[in-house]
Amino acid sequence: MLRKIIILILFLWLLWFILMASFNPVSLLVGLFVVLLVIYFSVYFFKDHDKDESVILADLNFNKLKKFFKYGFLSLIEIVSANIDVAERVLDPRLPIKPSIVKIKVPFKNNSFLFTLFVNTITLTPGTLTLDYEGEYIYVHFLAEEHIESLSQRQLDKKIMEIFDIHPD
Amino acid sequence: MMGGIKMNIFFLISAMILLLNAVLCFIRLIIGPSILDRMVAINIIGTKTLIVLVLIAYYHGQRYYIDIAFIYGLLNFIITVAISKFIQLEGK
Amino acid sequence: MISVFANSIVVPLILVGILFFIVGTVGLLRFPDIYCRIHATTKCDTLGAGAILLAMAIYEHDFFISLKLILIAMLIFFYSPTIGHIISRTAMRTGMKPWKKEENIVYVDEQNSQYKESDS
């Protein structure tokens, strides 16, 4: 708990430096004061998350940073292909869409961080949009029929498991 | 030096095109059948305004516009969350 | 020399961003129901804003300001899918029916009745 708060303080202080872009001592002290104020008001939100593995900030190291870059690269590819797909459909005068809603099971039941990451990645893949969740199921809106097959062919859950070293059990 | 001036005009023209885009989004904001359609339109207009602020910052050479753009993005997110929460609490 | 090299990256990136913003606007105006509109706006906003902010980060000489621009790009990268998800979840929970291709003629009446319900 204390370790998490200290890492959060350092992280927010770094953010303050990026936004201020100056290193004189007055700015440094004001930044520390503001960061402590923010922590004081928001400590309520992660008090109960002590046993949750999903708070990734707790042990930030170089290896984990590398994983985040890998994830960023994966989602960048997905975004570009999704945009090209949407652009083709929007600019086509016949408007070739056939929407449908499908219920999908998510493998990350216990890890809320990876659950969120997976759902966000689904929203950014071509022709898919996450609507709602219900336990370990999510409702996904598909823009056309062929996207249902392409989502299962992409195997995003396996890729995210590989990136973050989670084994299904 | 010449390149700098040309880039300035390029930024201005791109900002104008984006503003024209935002005006087109106002059509959806006015005719949109439900509140949520209007929220989508407001959201996309907000993102465009953010980008226009960044481009105008480079046209004028005033870099503090970028901070305003940052706050605009944060507000854009909070507005959407608040209105969605309100609509869900109110029922239909 | 360096600035010419930088500009040859900056200009295409901004043009790509504007193109995808236009695609997002056209999608917002053309698509028949709210879920499809969210499809268009979420994806096109993310790539368009990301491309233009990356271009400005390359154009900027000051390291801190270009870091700030990257920060805004990451903010948009995370909040754009979240906003799409929030709005579509609200639409689903308030009972908006998704558009079906077969019921193309019924759709107009349905939309009008929804308009009256949601605005009254």
Instruction: Return the beta strands (E) in chain C as ranges.
Output: none
> Rounded to an integer, what distance in angstroms lies between the CA atom of residue A135 and that of residue C26?
36
Q: Mean pLDDT across chain B, nearest whole number?
A: 87
Q: Do A132 and C33 touch (CB under 8 A)?
A: no
| A136/chain C closest Cα distance in angstroms | 16
Note the pLDDT tens digit of each residue in C41-62. 888 888 999 999 999 998 888 8
pLDDT, average across residues B39-51: 91
**Domain boundary assignment for chain A:** 2-58, 81-164
User: What is the Cα Rg of chain A in Å?
Assistant: 20
pLDDT, average across residues B26-31: 89
A131 near C CB under 8 A: yes
Chain C residue nearest residue B7, CA to CA: C7
Provide the chain C residues 23-82 that lie in CB contact (below 8 A) with chain A. Answer: 23, 26-27, 30-31, 33, 35-36, 38-40, 42-44, 46-47, 50, 62, 64-65, 67-68, 71, 78, 81-82
CATH class of A81-164: alpha beta
Structure tokens at C56: 């400005």
pLDDT of residue A95: 77
Note the pLDDT tens digit of each residue in C61-106. 888 888 899 999 989 988 888 898 888 888 888 877 777 765 444 4
**What are the angstrom distances between the C-alpha of C113 and each of A101, B5, B90?**
22, 54, 20
pLDDT, average across residues A138-148: 83
> Rounded to an integer, what distance in angstroms lies between the CA atom of residue A74 and that of residue A82?
12
Number of other CB atoms surrounding residue A160 within 10 Å = 21
Residue B60 carries which side chain, given as an amino acid letter? Answer: H
Note the pLDDT tens digit of each residue in A52-111. 554 555 556 677 778 888 888 888 888 888 888 888 888 888 777 788 888 888 877 777
Q: Mutate which of A78, A121, A131 to test chain C, going by most C C-beta atoms within 10 A? A: A131
For residue C103, the surrounding DSSP H or E stretch is none
**What are the angstrom distances between the C-alpha of A31 and each of A27, B63, B75?**
6, 21, 21
> Rounded to an integer, what distance in angstroms lies between the CA atom of residue B22 and that of residue B15?
10
Q: Mutate which of A116, A123, A128 to test chain C, going by most C C-beta atoms within 10 A? A: A123
> Rounded to an integer, what distance in angstroms lies between the CA atom of residue C89 and that of residue A134?
12
The answer to whether A99 and C35 are in contact (CB under 8 A) is: yes
Q: Which of A95, A131, A141 is nearest residue C30 as measured by Cβ atoms?
A: A95
Secondary structure of residue C12 in the 3-state scheme: helix
Q: Mutate which of C76, C77, C79 to test chain B, going by most B C-beta atoms within 10 A? A: C79
Edge-to-edge strand ranges of the sheet holding A128-134:
A100-105, A137-142, A128-134
